[in-house]
Amino acid sequence: MRTLVLGAGGIGGYFGGRLLQANRDVTFLVRPRRAEQLARIGLVIKSQYGDYHHPSPPTLLAENLRETYDVILLSCKAYDLDDAMNAIAPAVGPETVILPTLNGMRHMDALIDRFGDRALAGGLCFIASTMDDDGRILHLNPNHTIVFGERDGRRSARIDAIAAELAHGAFESRLSDSIMQEMWEKWVFIATGAAITSLMRSTVGDITAAGGTPLVQALVGECAAIAARSGFAPSDECVERSKSTFSTPGSTLTASMYRDIERGGRTEGDHLLGDLLRRGESAELYPVLRTANIHLATYEVRRARLEAERT
């Protein structure tokens, strides 16, 4: 099976690298700067599950992409999705399966609009990873899991083939017969953490100490209500896990969106919070989520203005 991995960063580089480690047919579609890094130091993974170094991983620049692939592993920031779809377009043939690992749902709509319903499988991942200044991939926690499946829950020859391929990698992979439900439940969890830590600009422990637990509980309820309205009511376990995780005394947990704000970077606020809010009956019904979304939108307006003023 020929696999194209968009990017070779913390997510794509990790999972693609582990497949490459297992001698699978993997090519990384990268930008020029990352191509130069990989040519200079190779693909380097540092992980508690074992380090890996490939001195010369197979890479392609978008302008050199000519062939179609069996599977495209799509991991990018939501705000880079349009560029990502343009980049992978030459690789999408009649039998190609696109396996995205982004959070939320808006990317699913965009991918179906661009490539058609048949091309798209459902997917998500659980991993904390980043790249250091030299381009090495640092795996930060015990999680390294990909979950995937046909969006209608059926078993198919192609999804079984993908399951067999991913099973070679030195990471956890799981074929789900309810992938859309799992994607929605992760969205509820991720949106809660992103909203509360970005809105309050602090850790879960600080928010809890300041009396923020009722806000967390309200936020979970709002996100869960929108999921239910969309036909994917989260399980009681999901709701309780979200409430407990984001109201744990002393927790140093923050969402990646909050960390993006702290470094002055672009966020996925509209993709994760704005799109969720738009799927609700009326924004006024979800006051905490609405406030968090406006907070992030204001940050993005200010960030863009300051960037324009500097140029």
Domain with residue 198: its CATH number is: 1.10.1040.10
Same domain, 171 and 185: no
For residue 213, which amino acid is it?
Answer: T
CA distance 139 to 137: 6
Domain with residue 135: its CATH number is: 3.40.50.720
Same domain, 256 and 285: yes
What's the pLDDT at 52? 98
Q: Among residues 131, 162, 177, which one ends one of the domains? A: 177
Same domain, 210 and 251: yes
Same domain, 136 and 276: no
Q: Among residues 139, 162, 177, which one ends one of the domains? A: 177
**Shortest CA distance to 103 belongs to which of 222, 200, 185, 10?**
185
Contact by Cβ (8 Å): 261, 201:
yes
Structural domain boundaries, residue 110:
2-177
Which positions are catalytic? 186
Same domain, 54 and 135: yes
What's the pLDDT at 311? 83
The count of structural domains within the chain is 2
Same domain, 44 and 164: yes
Could you tell me the mean pLDDT of each successive run of 10 residues in the chain, 311 residues long? Answer: 96 98 98 96 97 97 96 95 97 98 97 97 96 95 97 97 98 98 98 98 98 97 98 97 97 94 96 97 95 97 94 83
Give the DSSP H/E element, type plus range, for residue 71.
strand 71-74
**Shortest CA distance to 120 belongs to which of 164, 170, 183?**
183
Q: Among residues 132, 158, 177, which one ends one of the domains? A: 177
| SS3 at position 276 | helix
Within 10 Å of residue 246's Cβ, how many Cβ atoms?
A: 26
CA distance 112 to 302: 32
